[in-house]
Amino acid sequence: MTSVLVCDGSPLVREGFRRALAGLPGLDRVLAVPTAETLVARWTGDRPDLALLDARLPGIGGVETVRRVVRADPSARVMMLTMPDDEETVMAAVAAGARGYLYKNASRAEVRTTVSQILVESSAMVVSPYSRPVPRGGRPMLTERELEVLAGMCEGRSNAEIGRSLFLSEDTVKTHARRLFKKLGAVDRAHAVALGYRWGLVR
């Protein structure tokens, strides 16, 4: 029985995702819980195929929730529910083991497409508002400078901050960023960080 668990403190958000996923082919059950503590306590018993988790849950928080779930179940598939201005939390959650993120204001069609893909393909990396699989084939070859820029992104530093630490202009950092995005197949910084961790390019 295929199931998705939605964890968000807002009853409206939980109900919205339940409705969006209702009748999705191949999905038998949509569960919903209001707190991170409830999700962690119920994980072993419910063992959902995918959890949609609010990035800014009260209590232990979204990032720590991901960490605990993945520690208990390394095969767990967790996707963060977030807003466009929450990049730092998303990147921390991906580093902790989340598969990706989905904007809370994504359309019903986008939610259904994204969830369908990650349920079908266990290795998928999902990025809001569309599904973005990890590139196939060999590990991307980044230059030493591109790896340094990527490492700075993983630390949550801005382009200007990365430039100061590497003695580069901000424009030069942007150029390296565009090149590494292309090599990784990334659509934005959060996606690049996620793929960097998946490929083992950063630690």
C-alpha gyration radius of the chain: 17
**The domain spanning residue 66 has which CATH number?**
3.40.50.2300
> pLDDT-based confidence at 52, cuts 50/70/90?
very high
pLDDT at 29: 92
Q: Is the pLDDT assigned to residue 192 strictly greater than 80?
A: yes
Q: Are residues 181 and 125 in the same domain?
A: no
Could you list the residue range(s) of the whole structural domain that residue 162 is in? 144-199
What pLDDT is stored for residue 144 in this prediction? 92
- Return the higher-pLDDT residue of 70 and 120: 70
If asked whether residues 34 and 86 sit together in one domain, one would say yes
The residue ranking higher by pLDDT, 199 or 12, is: 12
Residue 85, pLDDT > 60, answer yes
- Single-letter amino acid, residue 51: A
Higher pLDDT, 46 or 194: 46
pLDDT tens string 111-145: 888 888 778 765 444 444 333 444 445 678 899 99
Query: End of a domain among 131, 160, 189?
Result: 131
What confidence tens digit (pLDDT) does each residue in 97-115 have? 887 788 888 888 888 888 8
Q: Do 88 and 152 fall within a single domain?
A: no
Beta strand segments in the chain, E = 3-7, 29-33, 50-54, 78-82, 100-103, 126-127, 130-131
Query: Can you give the length of the chain in residues?
Result: 203
Distances (CA, A) of 78 to 5, 52, 75, 81, 149: 9, 6, 10, 10, 27
Co-location of 12 and 57 in the same domain: yes
Kindly give, in sequence order, each residue whose CB lies less than 8 Å from that of residue 63, ignoring residues fewer than 6 positions away. Answer: 55, 89, 92, 93, 96
pLDDT computed for residue 106 by the predictor = 81
pLDDT tens for 145-174 read: 999 999 998 888 899 999 999 999 999 999
d(CA 191, CA 193): 5
For the chain, give the percent of residues with pLDDT over 90.
Answer: 32
- pLDDT score of 180: 92
Q: Which of 131, 154, 178 is the last residue of a domain?
A: 131
